[in-house]
Amino acid sequence: MAAPTENGRHFGQWIGILLFLGGFIPSATALIEGLYCGTEICYDVLGVSREAAKSDIGRAYRQLARKYHPDRFSSLAGETRESAHQKFLLIATAYETLKDEDSRRDYDYMLDHPEQYYSHYYTYYSRRLAPKVDVRIVILVTVVAISIFQYYSWWASYTEAINYLSTVPKYRIQATEIAKQLGLLNKTKEKGKNRRSKEEIREQEEEIIRDIIKNKIDIKGGYQKPKILDILLCKIVLFPYCLCAYVVWYCKWMYRFTICREEYGDEEKLYIIRKNMNMSQSQFDGLEEEQRETFLERQLWIKDNYEVWSVQGGAGGRDEDEDGPGPQVEEPAWNGLRCLRQRLSSNSTACRMQLKTPCWWGFRQAPTPSENHDPVTCSKDRTQKTAESCRGKRTLESKKR
């Protein structure tokens, strides 16, 4: 009976020794070579405790950095230049690990949970390899790049439209007449060193014609002249102002037309029609004036009228009446250069290309002083002729179909 008792006592002693040594295993396995301070504890490297404040860590780092700086290795007994350099790098690594709150929290978690070996690797390298660029700078650069691209593309579209208009005989001839009246096309022969080649003279004439077209024609829609306030950067900067202006406008709208029951004006009616059609402002500006008048005559600001009209003649269909085919709402190229070319080729001046100057100083022969021109009457006559021309061509096209 003595032998089993002796063996049991020795077995219990071995179990106690293993449990005692097992208490030291976590602190040993928690230190991974290549992570943070390697096989040394960063707190021990700086000579501080885990409860040390950030100021204490900074003070300890400055003292050790002055002591182990490579330039002062000769003053250290028993230290070589290489050992002092390695010690200085270890001190710097310990300080970089403990000075940041997030990095220090990850390091403490590694000391407390050594069994999560792969998780510590992922946390360490994900933080170490993460970009150090401020997110605000990235957003700002992205917005600026998009704004530059927007403005460049809009300007390219506007230039394309101007170049096309300069090739249309109607507008080219009228622009040439205006240039001659202003004395911009000098036909006098040049002599001597100032004499230019025919190519240079032709390029100058083309530039003058394009400049006159730019100044005399207001293109609406997707090919209009770009505005700096329409780019993304300006919209973001002006968003608070635009939001306040919209709130004020909406309150006025509700007060006038919901509470006071005022009647809509033409501007308000066109706004409701545009919303019913789900069109942007630039798309709606690309419509002909005659189409706007048709929308008002049909009272399309009323929801029921618009639904009936959209079923009969909208959404790609046509609504025939006594004047000919009705307007087509979703034309494929309302704002495109294709629309511009089609309507210019049909000699229509109602393609939302309006003269900025009075009718006696536009694309037509300037009157002599003896002529008596009334701007209002002239404008009405021009609009009436344009409407009659468009209506006649629509009727002719309908008969051909």
The contacts of residue 398 (CB under 8 Å, 6+ apart) are 320, 324, 325
**By the 8 A CB rule, do 289 and 383 touch?**
yes
d(CA 148, CA 154): 10
Confidence of residue 284 (pLDDT cuts 50, 70, 90): confident
Q: What is the pLDDT of residues 375-393, one digit of tens each?
A: 333 444 444 544 455 555 4
The contacts of residue 82 (CB under 8 Å, 6+ apart) are none
**By the 8 A CB rule, do 277 and 329 touch?**
yes
Q: What SS3 class is residue 251?
A: helix
Mean pLDDT of 199-208: 81
Per this entry, what is the length of the chain?
A: 401
Nearest to 354 by CA among 222, 219, 223: 219
Give per-residue burial for 3-32: e unless 16+ CB within 10 Å, then b.
eeeeeeeeeeeeeeeeeeeeeeeeeeebbe
Q: Mean pLDDT check: name the lowest of 171-180, 214-223, 302-311, 312-321.
A: 312-321
Q: Where are the beta strands (DSSP E) in 266-394?
A: 320-321, 324-325, 353-355
The model's pTM is 0.48
**Beta strands 353-355 and 217-219, pairing class:** antiparallel
Q: What is the pLDDT of residues 339-364, one digit of tens each?
A: 444 444 443 333 433 333 333 333 33
Confidence of residue 165 (pLDDT cuts 50, 70, 90): confident
Residue 142 has pLDDT above 90, yes or no: yes
d(CA 201, CA 203): 5
CA distances from 389 to 80, 327, 335, 383 (A): 99, 15, 22, 10
pLDDT score recorded for residue 140:
92
The contacts of residue 96 (CB under 8 Å, 6+ apart) are 103
**By the 8 A CB rule, do 353 and 216 touch?**
no
H helix runs in 113-218, sequence order: 117-128, 135-165, 169-181, 198-216
Sequence ranges of the domains in the chain: 30-128, 230-364+383-391
Strand partners, 165: none
Q: What is the pLDDT of residues 308-328, one digit of tens each?
A: 888 886 644 444 444 443 333
| 371 CA to centre of own chain | 52
Confidence of residue 32 (pLDDT cuts 50, 70, 90): confident
What is the fold of 30-128?
Answer: Helix Hairpins (1.10.287)
Place of tokens 């097992």: 22
Strand partners, 219: 353
Write the single-letter amino acid at 247: V
Confidence of residue 187 (pLDDT cuts 50, 70, 90): low
Strand partners, 325: 320
Give 70's DSSP letter.
G
pLDDT score recorded for residue 103:
87
Burial of 247 by CB count in 10 Å (0-12 exposed, 13-18 middle, 19+ buried)?
exposed
d(CA 216, CA 354): 8
CA distances from 185 to 68, 171, 202, 213, 367 (A): 82, 16, 10, 15, 20
Of residues 90 and 22, more confidence is placed in: 90
d(CA 347, CA 341): 10
